[in-house]
């Protein structure tokens, strides 16, 4: 049976997980997917925006579970791909699991700068009516608490960012995009030899 090579990349907001996933997938010639792709697909099907879907998920467990189910179905039926997803490590436990860390202040600063220069729909509900970095930090903390509570209820996950879940942890404050890509590729090659 051919080995399935899957890289799952998780990280806090602003840590660069989507960029890292795209760079790594291009370097390896693997397709790239994002949990956001499944969320956008669902929002389109419902005729609402991505920013509107996030708050709905807090009160309707079927939304989270459907998004996770679509990711799981994809992961179970494909091989040799890179996906950035908060729960990728959980949904594909035999993958090479990467976590991109970033302190709360830098995370808020990066997201705030991005929101002021690009499409605000990228970050879902955290992007609505944010006037300052401090306000954004509060919104991000609230979102994280909500997601952790939901994942604990659905899957008994105590902390989705627990270092024990991952094969490689990279601080993206001290590592730029090129360094992150290099560290992931090096870690992945080592993981392939060991598994």
Question: What pLDDT is attached to residue 3?
Answer: 62
pLDDT at site 168: 98
User: What is d(CA 111, CA 59) in angstroms, rounded to the nearest whole number?
Assistant: 25
**CATH number of the domain located at residue range(s) 6-189 in this protein:** 3.40.50.300
H-helix segments, 98-132: 104-115
Nearest to 136 by CA among 156, 117, 110, 160: 110
Pull the structure tokens for residue 15: 């840590």
Tokens 């660069």 identify what position? 16
Q: CA 35, 36, 40: angle at the middle one, nearest 5?
A: 125
**Could you tell me what percentage of the chain is helix, strand and coil, using 3-state DSSP and rounding each to the nearest 5?**
60, 10, 25
Nearest to 155 by CA among 91, 101, 94: 91
Residue-wise DSSP of 3-70: PP-EEEEEE-TTS-HHHHHHHHHHHHT--EEEHHHHHHHHHHHHT--HHHHHHHHHH-HHHHHHHHHH
For the chain, helix (H) and strand (E) counts, in that order, are 8, 5
Q: CB neighbours of 182 closer than 8 A, spacing ≥ 6?
A: none
Q: pLDDT tens, position by position, for the chain (195 residues)?
A: 346 799 999 999 999 999 999 999 999 999 999 988 888 888 899 999 887 887 787 788 888 889 899 999 999 999 899 999 999 999 999 999 999 999 999 999 999 988 887 644 444 444 456 678 999 899 889 888 988 998 999 999 999 999 999 999 999 999 999 999 999 999 999 999 998
> pLDDT value at position 50?
80
Give the whole-angstrom CA distance, residue 17 versus residue 99. 8
The Cα–Cα gap between 122 and 86 comes to: 15
């Amino acid at each position: 049976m051919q080995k399935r090579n899957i890289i799952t990349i998780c990280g806090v907001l602003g840590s660069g997980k989507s960029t890292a996933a795209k760079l790594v997938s291009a370097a390896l010639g693997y397709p790239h997917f994002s949990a956001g792709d499944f969320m956008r697909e669902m929002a389109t099907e419902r005729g609402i925006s991505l920013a509107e879907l996030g708050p709905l998920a807090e009160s309707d467990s079927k939304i989270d579970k459907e998004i996770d189910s679509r990711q799981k179905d994809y992961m179970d039926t494909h091989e040799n791909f890179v996906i950035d997803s908060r729960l990728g490590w959980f949904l594909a436990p035999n993958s090479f699991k990467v976590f991109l860390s970033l302190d709360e202040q830098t995370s808020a600063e990066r997201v705030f700068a991005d929101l002021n220069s690009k499409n605000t729909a990228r970050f879902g509900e955290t992007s609505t009516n944010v006037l300052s970095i401090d306000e954004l930090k509060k919104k991000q903390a609230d979102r994280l608490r909500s997601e952790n509570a939901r994942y604990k209820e659905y899957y008994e996950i105590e902390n989705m960012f627990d270092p024990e879940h991952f094969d490689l942890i990279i601080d993206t404050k001290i590592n730029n995009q090129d360094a992150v890509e290099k560290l992931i590729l090096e870690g992945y090659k080592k993981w392939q030899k060991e598994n």
